[in-house]
Amino acid sequence: MLQVSDISKIYTTNNTIVPVLRNINFTLDKGDFVFLTGASGAGKTTLLKLLILQEYPSKGSIMFEDVNIEKLQKKLVPLYRRTLGVVFQDYKLLENKTVFENISFVLEILDKKQSEIKNTVMQLLELVKLTDRADLFPKQLSGGEKRRVVIARAIANNPKLLIADEPTGDLDPDNTDRIVEILKKINSAGTSVIMTTHNVDLLDRYPQYKRWHLDAGELIEGKDPKRDTKFIDKLKNILTPELFEKITFIAPRSKQDLLSVTPLFLRHYLKLTDKQLSELVKKAKDL
C-alpha cells in the first residue's frame, strides 16, 4: 500500500545543513496500525508532512499504491490527499461552524448530495459519540470532544490511510482510551493507521500493533507481532532482568538487528547507562 524507500530530508538554515530524516525505509500494508514514537525533534512531524505532500523529501521515493507521489503534478496532489485522513495536533477546526458543519464541509467539497452528507455526518457523529454535540461550536467543546470531531472529519471521505499526529497528547487517560478505541474501529474497517504518540503506556496496552521509533532521524522498527521470538529468548538468558525489560521495547529479531540500534536511542529513550550499553553490545556480539 505504502512503500517508503531511502527517504532523507535536509533543511538549510543560515547556510548550515540540518539533516532531519536519514534513509528512512518502511512498508505499510493495508489494515496496518502503527504507533510512531520519538523524542521531540526526532522527525515525526516531518515524516508525516512528507506523507501528505506538505513537504517533499530531499532524497528517496514514496510509493502509494504503485504511484510515486512525490513526482505527482501539482494539480493531482489534491486528488491524492483525498485518499488520506489527517488528524492534526492543533485541531484546525473552523470556529465559525458547528460540529455538524465542520464535518459536512469536507463532503461538500467533494460535491456529495445533501441527503448523503446528512446521513454520513450523523453516522460519523454516532461513531465518535457526539450526536448530542452536532449543533455546538468548537469553543463549546472540551479538548477530547474537539479531538473526536477532528477524527470524524478526517474519515468523512473514507480514507485508505489515516494519519493521526499526537491525537491523545493533551488528553486525560479516559479520553485517551476513547480516542484509541475509535481509531481501532476505523482500523478494523480496513483503514490503515499511523499514529504518533509519546504515551508509552499505550504501547504496552496495545502490543498487537506495530511500533516504529524515530531516533535522531533514523527509523527503528519496534515490537512487531510477526517477529520471531527466539532471539528475544536468547537475550533473556544472558541479560539482567532490568536490562532485558528495557530491550524488549525494540524486540530485536537478530544480532545484526540489535547492533544496528543507535547508541543515542539506547541512551536517551531507553535510558541505558554507559555500563548497560557496553554490557549489551558485548553480550550481543557473543551470541
Other C-beta atoms closer than 10 Å to the C-beta of 253 total 17
State the chain's mean pLDDT as an integer.
84
How many Cα atoms occupy the beta-carbon half-sphere of 193 within 13 Å? 29
pLDDT at 226: 43
Backbone angles phi, psi at 53, to 5 degrees: 60, 30
CB 90 within 8 A of CB 35: no
What integer pLDDT is reported at residue 252 of this predicted model?
60
* CA dihedral (180, 184, 190, 193) positive or negative: positive
- 65-106: per-residue pLDDT in tens? 988 998 899 899 988 998 999 998 888 899 999 999 999 998
* Separation of alpha carbons 67 and 118, rounded Å: 33
Helices (H), 189-254: 200-205, 230-238, 241-247
Burial zone of 230 (CB within 10 Å; 0-12 exposed, 13-18 middle, 19+ buried): exposed
CA nearest neighbour of 101 among 125, 82, 83: 125
| Residue owning grid cell 538468558 | 237
Q: Which residues pair with 53 in a beta bridge?
A: none
Sorted by where each begins, the domain ranges of the chain are: 1-83+161-224, 93-158, 227-287
Grid cell digits, residue 275: 555500563
Looking at domain 1-83+161-224, its CATH architecture is: 3-Layer(aba) Sandwich (3.40)
Tally of CB atoms within 10 A around 238: 14
Question: Would you say residue 171 has pLDDT above 50?
Answer: yes
Is 161:1 a contact under the CB 8 Å cutoff? Answer: yes
Cα separation, 71 vs 217, in Å, equals 23
pLDDT at 185 over 60: yes
Per residue in 119-143, pLDDT (tens digit) is: 999 999 999 999 999 999 999 999 8
